[in-house]
Amino acid sequence: MGLNEQQCAEIDAVLKTSLRRKFQEYNPEPASMPFHTRLLGKDRLALYSFIHSLSTNFGTTIFEPVAVTIAKQNYKNVRSHIAAGEYIYEAALGEIQKIIDGLTTATDMPNKIEEIAAIRAVCQAGTKRKVKPTMVDLYIEDYNGSQYLFDLKTAKPNAGGFREFKRTLLEWAATVLASNPKAKVNTLIAIPYNPYEPQPYNRWTMRGMLDLKNEIKVGDEFWDFLGGVGTYQDLLDCFERVGIELRDEIDRYFAKFTK
């Protein structure tokens, strides 16, 4: 399946726009690094700083709009950076805390299907509480009514944050179910690429807190879910093509730092 010509053209436009906007807005920090500068050169230091700056917002400026471009061809409803909901019932909040406590103490093992069922059973019980959970990076609804709420993370998320990641996923489910107890809701972590390739993604830090089968998609698992088999490789080709096309423009931009 993969990407069609229209999708590739839209992705190319997203990448070019994002990179050129970054060129306009980027201003290297004025910190003096005399040893680094003399050893590596101003242009290389500027490039390193630029890449670091770009990487910090790659998710919102590139991965989110690219994901929307891919998914909207195959799904009924696709949106980015939205609120999952505004309310959770007290009984559901209590169930979420119970789940987190069980996982934290290793009394329970993560099982997303059972966890959603437990929250669903009490999703409208008790007092309704207004909440403000983390924004959903990518929302997808398929033609069968199943909803997928993704939290896009960096390639190597902080292992110490997985408990809060888990809470976010459970709270998203609870807010959706608070409005519609029969909703077919799935909440997941998405990691856009595997930094350990060609080795499998190192998931051991997540084991014990996340359901690895039902709660996380990495690299081609994520992109092929959005666009079909072959999407991940097609997407890499898009990035490479744009990089080649803009190479002279990129070189000219960093050449000014040699002065």
pLDDT digits over 104-122, tens only? Answer: 998 999 999 999 999 999 9
The verdict on residue 169 lying in a domain is no
Decide if 243 is inside a domain: yes
**Domains in the chain, number:** 1
- Expressed as residue numbers, the domain containing 256 is 1-62+229-259
Query: Is residue 49 domain-resident?
Result: yes
Residue 39 belongs to a domain: yes
Residue 151: pLDDT band (50, 70, 90) is: very high
Q: What angle do CA 160, 164, 165 make, to 5 degrees?
A: 95
pLDDT at position 50 is 78
- Model confidence at 248: pLDDT above 60: yes
Peptide bond just before 198 cis, omega within 30 deg? yes
- Spatial distance between the Cα atoms of 78 and 63, rounded to a whole number of angstroms: 14
Reply yes or no on whether the pLDDT at 36 is more than 80.
Answer: no
Strands 77-82 and 136-141: antiparallel
pTM (two decimals): 0.89
Residue 32 lies in a domain: yes
CB 5 within 8 A of CB 241: no
Q: Say if 176 falls within a structural domain.
A: no
Looking at the predicted structure, is the pLDDT value of residue 30 above 60? no
Render pLDDT for 205-228 as a digit per residue (tens, 0 to 9): 677 889 989 999 999 999 999 999
pLDDT of residue 43: 75
